[in-house]
Amino acid sequence: MFALALSLALAQAPHADTATFITRLGTDTIAIEHFSYDGRVLDGVSVTRSPNVSVHRYRAVFGAVGVDSLTLAEGPAGRPARQVTTYRYTDDSVVTEGRRDTTTHRESAAVHGRPLPFAPDVLGPWEVALQGALRAADPQLTLLNGSETIRYAVHRIGGDSLHLAIANGDFGPLYAQMNSAGQLRFLDLRATTDKFLAERVSGLDVDSMTAVFAARELAGKGLGNLSPRDTTRATVGGAHVQIDYGRPMRRGRVIFGNVVPWDTVWRTGANQATQLITDKDLVVGGTTVPAGTYSLFTIPSANGWLLIINRQHGQWGTDYDAKQDLARIPMRTTRAAVPLERLTISIYAPTLSIAWDRALAAVQVKAR
């Protein structure tokens, strides 16, 4: 997951707010969090499970015009923090100091509005930010990404439901809902590449759950990487072929037409772009593919799939440049009787296949 930053407006609440959130990816719990906020100090702890159980403790202090400082400490469950990052603000700048082991790094950036850094699955800052943003005539959330700021426009879409849109569409849209007391009920990232849903809950003890997660990990039953990298290798008529890709899991979800929308370019995996490498020329679905390295994308459709072979490679999976396409090749599709839990790409000459959930798409591949 990447670090973002959120503009937090000072919310003067008459009573201290305490909240507990659970964040899920499909049916799997991937994080839990508890925070309290009294109008001046926001204290919270977020426990994430992937790739390892990690505890993130944060404390933000607010003054008359906004946030003055934020400290974030991160480390394994039950152990001292390995990294501590502190942000100190003025009206036109932020100074960031990061300490990891014996190394300290300090940098400053010229930014306005006192935007605060956070991870997308840390919910305390989201609640406070939305409370402040909704008091404005033109509600916006400002995020700090490195030394630059980006903005979400906040739109009401009925009742207390909110739609958060960013102009370049890079990380969005997001959906949220506030209750009658102005407290965050849920934050929905399922339309983003993260696919998370965070919901406010009661009766959950974060310390006890952290101990359970740590014990599972110690027993070899931790959550691990959400989409581990894998490589398919095959020899096709003397050509050595490999496909390197991230392997997301179904986790109880309907994949195609839901997690993966119909009729849109899909990275065909997770995280970094899926790569095809061949040391000799191939013929894929009747199209010649010269020896080299390529990215693979697909456009799944209810009426059939297209395989996209793209000359760009080594990039993040959502970085797709249609101008780099070598070919778009129709694939044969069938429906599996039993859903497949993890995305699987296979090459068994003369077939390259992509299978996940109940979908199976295939195309002929042979040496030229």
pLDDT(4) > 50: no
Q: What is the pLDDT of residue 200?
A: 97
**C-alpha to C-alpha distances, 134 to 54, 186, 217, 264, nearest whole angstrom:** 32, 16, 41, 33
Which is it for strands 239-246 and 229-236: parallel, antiparallel or unpaired? antiparallel
| Cβ atoms within 10 Å, residue 224 | 12
pLDDT tens digits along 93-141 = 999 999 998 899 999 999 998 887 767 778 998 898 888 888 888 899 8
Q: What is the pLDDT of residue 7?
A: 44
What percent of the chain lies above the pLDDT cut of 90?
A: 77
pLDDT tens digits along 158-190 = 888 999 998 777 787 999 999 988 899 999 999
Q: 15 pLDDT band (50/70/90 cuts)?
A: low
pLDDT(192) > 80: yes
Decide: pTM greater than 0.85.
Answer: yes
Q: What is the pLDDT of residue 158?
A: 83
Q: What is the pLDDT of residue 251?
A: 97
Cross-sheet strand order for the sheet of 274-278: 229-236, 239-246, 274-278, 292-299, 305-310, 325-348, 351-367, 282-284, 287-289
Q: What is the pLDDT of residue 299?
A: 98
> Taking all residues of the chain, what is their mean pLDDT, rounded to a whole number?
91
pLDDT(1) > 60: no
